Structure 1
Amino acid sequence: MNNNKLTIAPAWLFQSEQGDLLEPTLFRLLAGIRDTGKLTDAARQTGISYRHGWNLLNRAGEVFGLSLVNMRKGRGTTLSELGETLLWAEHRVKARLGPQLDSMAAELNGQIQHLRANAETVLRLHASHGYAVALLTEFSDQLSVNLQYRNPEEALSALNRGDCDLASLHFPTDPALARDTLAHYHHLLAGRPLRLIRFVTRSEGMMMRPDTTPPVRYLTDLAKRQLRFIGRDHHSGTRVLFNRLLQHQGLAEADLNLSPQQELTHTAVAAFVAAGMADVGFGVEAAAAQFGLRFQQLAREHYLLVCHQDRLEQPGLTRLRALMASEAVVARIGQVPGYQPDHPGEVTTFEALLGENPPG
């Protein structure tokens, strides 16, 4: 199997009215300065000379009219307010666009795979953004997966049309929340011979900066303290879960100091909070850990793959289930904060999952 794949990544390009260009290396240099506090170390990490780094910062200062760093003799180098702003802007762009670009790259790679002579079947997986499902693409030497990031409604609709082989759905372990989820997606699930492939459980909750005082522990804290809140887009499974949690607490979105901005990924929500643009966000623990945020769990959920029952014995799905249960994949899952293997590869039903966690 030819495992060469195309990737797509965003790149910043600054150009002044005079035509001066600033190369993307600038962001790696700024990140190095933030992490090490020394221009010499940051330049070495970036793979450029000290002089090149110095000239790059000077040119950037001329373009923006403000310095990107603060240099004090004997006290090292720190980022200025502009430097911090630019670096966080780059983080947010990568977090916001990354999954969409990954989906575009997967679509193109799938087309190329089909054009290759004797190409193996490529499994088409439409899944909501998550850290564990992305791990499957790391094992392309064992299985070809065309991963497209879609919200649950889009993914299940594509599965029903035959536009994909698998769709993802996250299903709360709490029975009341689980039944709410079934009711929400009833029009896409009812009367269809579907089966669930177990994969992982994951933690969802509130993320905030470590210096948030006092820490936010309950959804009622958001309303009482009118903290600035950033949420996922309305069609995401995470937003559906969050709104159900609000309802169970007798709250509504109107009770919150909700940002008009909506983010498409967990990573983008975490970056938004870490940059100080919101006080609290809601998403998976792994995103909070990625940006050094405090996390307060509010729910645990199964992250499942849904397929048609008559497709289970097809070679591609058989290999996928074996891969999900392999030691290598299980070990990688264990490295992701807030994620745990959940009988990966095992086939089940919604009724069986509900029976595992009967009402207390």
Structure 2
Amino acid sequence: MTYKFKARLSSEWVLEKPSGTVLPLSEVLRVLAAVDATGNISGASRACGMSYRHAWGLLRHAEKEFEMALIETSRRQGTKLTNFGQHLIWANRRLDARLMPTLESMASELQEELERLYPESQPRLRLHASHGFAVEGLMQLANGMDMSPLELRYRTAIEALASLDRGECDLAGFQVPVGEFELPILKRYGEWLDPTRHRLINLAVRNTGMFVKRDNPKHITSVADLVNQDVRFVNRQIGSSTRFLVGLMLEQLNIDTSRVQGFDTSEFTHMAIAAHIASGMADVGIGVETAAWRCGLAFIPLAKERYFLAVHRDNLDTPHMRRLLDLMNGVEYQGYVSQLVGYDATLMGRVETLEEAFGPDFARALRAGR
């Protein structure tokens, strides 16, 4: 007998009154998001699979508890969220984006532990990678098909490569910007990349840039604008490659990071950065274009990044790795990544040596990094 379930963890927040009474908010937040998307309660109730009366009752009860209006209705504009209602759903989106990597990693650990209890459980490929939408899709497809399961741990690129070097994972995800910042990034990775032992699997090329509100009220056009007094920045976490890239760009302009308001404010995913800005907590952040598009933000391109999965050369021909490569080269996954805004899947699945990927300057960068 093999396992026939998948472990999942999810976040949910509640309101607890002084009396100890608890008000769950999951359904309320789901209806609010649906009202925001459809523009009326009828459409929202259908989208949520509940009756109009139930949806209306949820919102009215929540308004009573909050002592604030959540929606407002007019004949011309239909139903829309109040400012308070908008802030509620963006707070929830920010929470989900912030916790998602942790919850997915913990669920993967739980799944692995439970599977070991079954005598016919399969060995798993272990993927450590920085957060990205292509990685999310790969995880979903791999674990939804008849192939060996894929275990995911979200790590910074440095942490992932160090895990591969120690034999703690089978694949390590990392990104490298195209152009002038490629060599400095490679020097940073050099300690853990060995041309004789490692090979690289191309995943995708993605657009990285600045997120701002759709109307760009602070008139932000470049990294130089991060020092403007009225601009609030939100950064990626310490150790992330995106944060390191921002530092390189500021250094090129002779701008000390202490001059950037919010440089030490950090989020762990691209979606968390986007939600942070969409909810009005910051004016600008940096991440991949997909997140900006999903949150209705404007996107200012800064760099193209190549995303790779590093693997030990001797593991490329194992049955599990071959099945993963077949998945990556298949129509379904290629189509999934191709529809991600700002992603290019042209080279997906191609296996290269480090020299083939980075050219003759790689060896020099590697020596300088060690």
In the superposition, the TM-score normalised over structure 2's length comes to 0.89
- Corresponding residue for 2:270? 266
Q: Do 2:164 and 2:171's aligned partners in 1 also have CA atoms closer than 8 Å?
A: yes
**Structure 2 counterparts to residues 49-68 of structure 1, below 5 A:** 49-68=51-70
Shift of 1:104: 1.0
Shift of 1:225: 5.8
Q: Do 2:218 and 2:231's aligned partners in 1 also have CA atoms closer than 8 Å?
A: no
Superimposed CA distance per residue, residues 34-71 of structure 1 (whole angstroms, 9 cap, x where no aligned partner): 22332232223222222222322222122222222224
CA distance 1:20–1:150, change in 2 (3 Å): closer
CA distance 1:225–1:280, change in 2 (3 Å): same
Superimposed CA distance per residue, residues 110-147 of structure 1 (whole angstroms, 9 cap, x where no aligned partner): 22333333222210000000000111122321341101
Equivalent residue letter for 2:158: E
Q: Do 1:16 and 1:63's aligned partners in 2 also have CA atoms closer than 8 Å?
A: no
CA distance 1:63–1:224, change in 2 (3 Å): closer
What SS does the aligned partner of 1:67 have?
A: coil
* Partner Cα separation in structure 1 for residue 297 and residue 9 of structure 2: 28
Q: Do 1:199 and 1:342's aligned partners in 2 also have CA atoms closer than 8 Å?
A: no
- Corresponding residue for 1:201? 205
Do structure 1's residue 139 and structure 2's residue 142 form an aligned pair? yes
What SS does the aligned partner of 2:151 have?
A: strand
* Partner Cα separation in structure 2 for residue 17 and residue 216 of structure 1: 44
Shift of 1:213: 4.0
Shift of 1:215: 4.3
Structure 2: stretches of 5+ with no match in the other structure: 363-370
Q: Comparing 93-102 with 78-87, which one deviates more in the overlay?
A: 78-87
How many residues are paired up? 357
- Corresponding residue for 2:232? 228
Do structure 1's residue 111 and structure 2's residue 116 form an aligned pair? no
Shift of 1:2: 5.5
Superimposed CA distance per residue, residues 187-207 of structure 1 (whole angstroms, 9 cap, x where no aligned partner): 323587222111111111101
* Partner Cα separation in structure 1 for residue 187 and residue 90 of structure 2: 39
- Corresponding residue for 1:349? 353
* Partner Cα separation in structure 2 for residue 45 and residue 120 of structure 1: 38
Q: Do 1:169 and 1:305's aligned partners in 2 also have CA atoms closer than 8 Å?
A: yes
CA distance 1:74–1:204, change in 2 (3 Å): closer
Structure 1: stretches of 5+ with no match in the other structure: none
What SS does the aligned partner of 1:298 have?
A: strand
Equivalent residue letter for 1:111: E
CA distance 1:202–1:3, change in 2 (3 Å): farther
Q: Do 1:173 and 1:357's aligned partners in 2 also have CA atoms closer than 8 Å?
A: no
Q: Comparing 98-107 with 123-132, which one deviates more in the overlay?
A: 98-107
* Partner Cα separation in structure 2 for residue 347 and residue 94 of structure 1: 34
Among candidates 45, 48, 60, match of residue 47 of structure 2: 45
C-alpha RMSD of the superposition = 2.3
* Partner Cα separation in structure 1 for residue 157 and residue 66 of structure 2: 42
In the superposition, the TM-score normalised over structure 1's length comes to 0.92
Q: Do 1:198 and 1:304's aligned partners in 2 also have CA atoms closer than 8 Å?
A: yes
Q: Do 1:320 and 1:345's aligned partners in 2 also have CA atoms closer than 8 Å?
A: no
Do structure 1's residue 170 and structure 2's residue 175 form an aligned pair? yes
* Partner Cα separation in structure 2 for residue 236 and residue 28 of structure 1: 32
What SS does the aligned partner of 2:335 have?
A: helix
Shift of 1:7: 1.5
- Corresponding residue for 2:255? 251
Q: Comparing 5-14 with 216-225, which one deviates more in the overlay?
A: 216-225
Shift of 1:342: 4.5
* Partner Cα separation in structure 2 for residue 323 and residue 86 of structure 1: 39
* Partner Cα separation in structure 1 for residue 319 and residue 6 of structure 2: 23
Q: Do 1:129 and 1:150's aligned partners in 2 also have CA atoms closer than 8 Å?
A: yes
Q: Do 2:14 and 2:22's aligned partners in 1 also have CA atoms closer than 8 Å?
A: no
- Corresponding residue for 1:98? 100
- Corresponding residue for 2:10? 9
Q: Comparing 23-32 with 65-74, which one deviates more in the overlay?
A: 65-74
Do structure 1's residue 339 and structure 2's residue 343 form an aligned pair? yes
What SS does the aligned partner of 1:257 have?
A: coil
Equivalent residue letter for 2:175: H
- Corresponding residue for 1:287? 291
What SS does the aligned partner of 1:170 have?
A: strand
* Partner Cα separation in structure 1 for residue 174 and residue 133 of structure 2: 14
* Partner Cα separation in structure 1 for residue 119 and residue 7 of structure 2: 18
* Partner Cα separation in structure 1 for residue 47 and residue 201 of structure 2: 43
CA distance 1:252–1:322, change in 2 (3 Å): farther
* Partner Cα separation in structure 1 for residue 354 and residue 106 of structure 2: 32
- Corresponding residue for 1:306? 310
Equivalent residue letter for 1:168: G
* Partner Cα separation in structure 2 for residue 344 and residue 74 of structure 1: 48
- Corresponding residue for 2:246? 242
- Corresponding residue for 2:365? none
CA distance 1:75–1:165, change in 2 (3 Å): closer
- Corresponding residue for 1:328? 332
